Amino acid sequence: FEKLCSISLSHINVYACLVCGKYFQGRGLKSHAYIHSVQLSHHVFLNLHTLKFYCLPDNYEIIDSSLEDITYVLKPTFTAQHIAHLDKQAKLSRAYDGTTYLPGIVGLNNIKANDYANAVLQALSNVPPLRNYFLEEENYRHIQRPPGDIMFLLVQRFGELMRKLWNPRNFKAHVSPHEMLQAVVLCSKKNFQITKQGDGVEFLSWFLNALHAALGGTKRKKKSEWG
């Protein structure tokens, strides 16, 4: 879900409690994460930005390779070789609850009334040229955007969602599109929301044009980085 402290509602310095899954800001004395650890005896926290693990309230970093599965789920990575073979293999992956799934063919959570957007995002995630471009973050990491431009957030969130949908090491056979949809609400100036139904065709048209523009394309014939 959106990396937002459940108490302060701040995006800054947010930690996930690995016992209950809630998000809290900070880890110092009197911080929300610190107080949570003392009150409920929940001791292992993950910084959602640096992807480092800490034990609270003692406040020391935990170095343990067994935790790498968690960081990979948060930030999957794909090599060019892996991407090239995505459509040539049909190997089922096993989630932690024992269910099996095919990477790329997984569910998107229905938060409220966002099924129209989910359908479009699912369809786009299975268009190979588009999918392959966004699976490799290096393709767009260094694109320069004007100061204060928020539209590039769509590019970042769409790339993150693609990598999570195609992750062969997911914990569950479904993925939350919450951060992606929050970016849609913001960048569309609330024309598309998650609290009421929208038109899938209108959303598809707006979304592709917004991605195209954010990647350097224009309304004329100039191509963006991905076409």
- Which pLDDT belongs to residue 224? 60
Question: Could you tell me the maximum CA-CA distance found in the chain, to the nearest angstrom?
Answer: 59
pTM of the model as a whole: 0.83
pLDDT digits (tens, 9 = 90+) for 77-106: 999 999 988 888 778 888 888 888 889 988
Of the three residues 42, 69, 96, the one that is the final residue of a domain is: 69
Residues of the chain with pLDDT > 90, as a percent, come to 63
Residue 64 in any domain: the answer is yes
Question: Alpha-carbon distance 185 to 68, whole Å?
Answer: 32
- Which pLDDT belongs to residue 225? 54
**Mean pLDDT over all residues of the chain?**
90
Number of separate domains in the chain? 2
| pLDDT higher at 202 or 141 | 202
Which own/partner pairs from 95-98 qualify as long-range (CB within 8 Å, at least 24 positions apart)?
95/170, 95/171, 95/172, 95/173, 96/171, 96/172, 97/172
- Which pLDDT belongs to residue 203? 97
Q: List the domain range (segments joined by +) for residue 170.
A: 75-213
- Which pLDDT belongs to residue 78? 92
Question: Alpha-carbon distance 99 to 110, whole Å?
Answer: 20
Contact at 8 Å (CB) between 168 and 106? no
Q: Measured in whole angstroms, how far is the alpha carbon of residue 35 from the centre of its chain? A: 27
- Which pLDDT belongs to residue 62? 95
Amino acid present at 60: Y
- Which pLDDT belongs to residue 220? 57
**Among candidates 53, 1, 56, which has minimal Cα distance to 182?**
1
Pairing of strands 44-47, 53-55: antiparallel
Residues 97, 204: one domain? yes
- Which pLDDT belongs to residue 87? 85
Residues of the chain with pLDDT > 70, as a percent, come to 95
Q: Is pLDDT above 60 for 227?
A: no
Task: Please tell me the least confidently modeled range out of 28-32, 159-163, 220-224.
Answer: 220-224
Residues 90, 182: one domain? yes
- Which pLDDT belongs to residue 36? 96
Question: Alpha-carbon distance 180 to 163, whole Å?
Answer: 12
Residues 28, 112: one domain? no
